[in-house]
Each structure stands twice: as C-alpha cells, then as structure tokens.
Structure 1
C-alpha cells in the first residue's frame, strides 16, 4: 500500500519569536564588541599621534599620570589643545629658547595655511620622565623594548628642554614637509611626532632619522 507524504511542519509563532530574539542578542553583542574595540583604538598613548609601533610617544597617558598624583603640570604635563604660544605651562616655557622660537615661527606660518600645531609634550621634569619610563617597561614588558620609546631622565631630550611632540596628523605632516626651514627635524623613525632643533637643517635639510632612540648615541649615557 502506498503512503501519502505528510506536509512539512510549519514553525510555530513561538519558535519564530525565539529565533528573532537570538538574532537580536547576537547583533547587540557584535555591536558592543565593535564599539569597545573602537574606543580602545582611540585611547592611544601619551600625548599623541597614532603612528608605527606599539605606541605613539610615551607609554602613559599624561592625564592618567596626573590622576595618580605622581606628577602635575609643574612637571611638564600639558592638557589637550596647548600650542607653542601658551605661556602658562612649564612644558612650553621651559623649552630651550631657540627651540621655542623656531617652533613658534613654524606654528605661525602653518597657521596661515590653516594648520594648528598643538604640542602634546615639551619639557618634562626628571620625575615625569622616570614615571613614563616605568610605565613603558610595564607596557612593553622589558627595559630593552621600553628604550625604543622612552628615554631615561638622564638622556631624554625632553628633560633637557630640547624636544617637542607634535599633535595631530596634519600638523605632523606639515612639520615633516616644512620643518627643516626652521631647523625642526624628526629625530626617530618610529616617533614621527618627535621634533628637535637642528640648526644645520636650515638650508641643508634634516639628517636621516634614527630608526628608534636605541640607535641614538646620546641615549647610551
């Protein structure tokens, strides 16, 4: 005897409700993960501009250092939005006069082209530099790796008032192209935001940057 094929069962309204709920839960979870990832990407290290390597500039966000009560603006911490013309911060006023003059001339000319040159970090106290180095060792796992990003207080150009970290991509790009006209040169290939004064660069161009601070003879002290 032949058997008539039964009609396929249709999912009930309740089953469809469960499926829809699972889809919504998955969508919310994925969205939250993406938001958290993007937020983490925005919190780059110190004062700065995302670039090559595991972290741009010092390994600790200056705001977090302040929150810990370790160092303050008197040690060179700079809030967001500071320029070379802000005279209220030791991080700016304690830069070497020649460097500050060159930076202000560059910033004025850049401003005529709609580029604002913010300074994320300038002069630092030895205590501030020590704290940044300690944080770098913790972040990168060893003193050797940390040395690629943060100098000791004894060797740091920031502590000597001879270096500035420039903020924003457009400002770094402008300085990379025009900085030599003011004697301002990128010192390290892995820190595109870090500029120092090289007087011989005016008319002669900037020297090739070191790959990172460990190649700089001044860091061997």
Structure 2
C-alpha cells in the first residue's frame, strides 16, 4: 500500500484562523486611526460654524427714557452735529454741540457747580444736552414705539416742538455721584431737578439761589410747558 496522505483539514483551519486574526488586526488599526483623526482633526459641531454679528458697543445714555433694546430709527443719520454725545464728555467740553449750544447761563452755572464739585473728586458728565429737532423727533418716535402710544411716551420724552433740550435749556447730567451732589447743592447755583422720574435732568432756575428749587413735576407729562 502506498503511505496515506496527511489530512488537509487542519491546514485549512489554520489558514482561516490566520486570515481572521489578520482581519481583526486590520480593523483595529483602521479604528485607531479614525479615532485619532476624530480627536485631533474632526470638524466642529454645526453650531460652532454659525457666525454672529459682533455686539454693538453700549451707547452712552443720551435720552430721558430708560435704556431700551429698540434702536432709534435712522440712528445712522444722526451724529454729533445733531447733539449725539460721545461717551466721556464733560460740561467743560468746548467742541461738542450738545454742550456748546446750551443756553450760556445754564452752561455757566453747570461749570461753576462742576468746578466746586471737583474739589470733592466729582466730575460732571453730559449724557445729553442740546439736541437738534431731528434728533428729538427720532427719540420721541422711538419712545412711542417702545411704550405703545404718544401719551405714554410723553412721560419720558418731549416732542421736538416742546423739548427743552431742543431749546438748549436742559442738560442730562451723569454720573450718579454728580446728580447726587446736585440734588444737595444745585439750588445755590440755580440748578434744579425738574422731574421726579428723571434725577439726571437739570434746568436753570435763577430764583432758586434765594428761594430754593420749585416743587418737581412727577414726570414731563405733568409739565404745562409740554402741552404747547
């Protein structure tokens, strides 16, 4: 008899095992490479790709009304020449129309008071002073939109026809330390707070030097001058 041939089955099993092991090693290598790329070079989540407009700088307070999220219409058309006040302007600024267009007697009184307050480390900033009729009209329309009616708006903002700012006879003073100082000392300079709801709004009342400031109105809507 011829010697018997060794069975081929064990060899086949060995080949299958080797192929399976090689496949597992290959898959492990692919998974590791993919994981490394995901950690180091993956694309950001979709929300990270959304671009947003840079936040607008906070404007300096320039109106009688409380701060609002509603931008005034045609704001881009208004500028310093209309009475818009750059941040940090004081009553001594001689280049900004909001200051230089104030009534000369009012401005002189503010500067006298500011000079004395400076000895106590207090500086008078002008948040708003003289305004053009266009600027005042823009503020009034903004207030109407914000408060829902002209009647409600007049508690904070006058019309261009009645505004003491347009006439150059009122100034909104900041910061709070300055208005606090004026509340206690303003009368001796003839400077008076006119509206209870606007501690920043000051007008000149020369008689206040001798008699003290007159009783305040609750708000501009109660001021007879606003009904012209």
TM-score relative to the length of structure 2: 0.70
In structure 1, stretches of 5+ residues that fail to align are 1-42, 49-55
Report whether the alignment pairs 1:158 with 2:159: no
Aligned pairs for 1:162-173 within 5 A? 162-173=169-180
Aligned match for 1:115, one of 122, 132, 140: 122
Instruction: Count residues with an aligned counterpart.
Output: 170
Aligned match for 2:61, one of 42, 47, 54: 47
Specify the alignment match of 2:132 in structure 1: 125
Report whether the alignment pairs 1:213 with 2:220: yes
Counterpart Cα distance in 2 of 1:66 and 1:73: 16
Counterpart Cα distance in 2 of 1:57 and 1:159: 13
Counterpart Cα distance in 2 of 1:60 and 1:129: 16
Counterpart Cα distance in 1 of 2:96 and 2:122: 22
SS at match of 1:191: coil
SS at match of 2:126: strand
Report whether the alignment pairs 1:69 with 2:83: no
Deviation at 1:142, TM superposition (A): 1.1
Aligned pairs for 1:29-40 within 5 A? none
Higher relative contact order (CA 8 A, sep 6+): 1
Paired residues of 1:58 and 1:149 also in contact (CA < 8 A): yes
Paired residues of 1:46 and 1:59 also in contact (CA < 8 A): no
Aligned match for 2:194, one of 168, 187, 201: 187
> Deviations 1:141-178 (Å, cap 9, x if unpaired)?
11111000000111100000000001111111001110
TM-score relative to the length of structure 1: 0.72
Counterpart Cα distance in 1 of 2:183 and 2:77: 33
Deviation at 1:70, TM superposition (A): 2.5
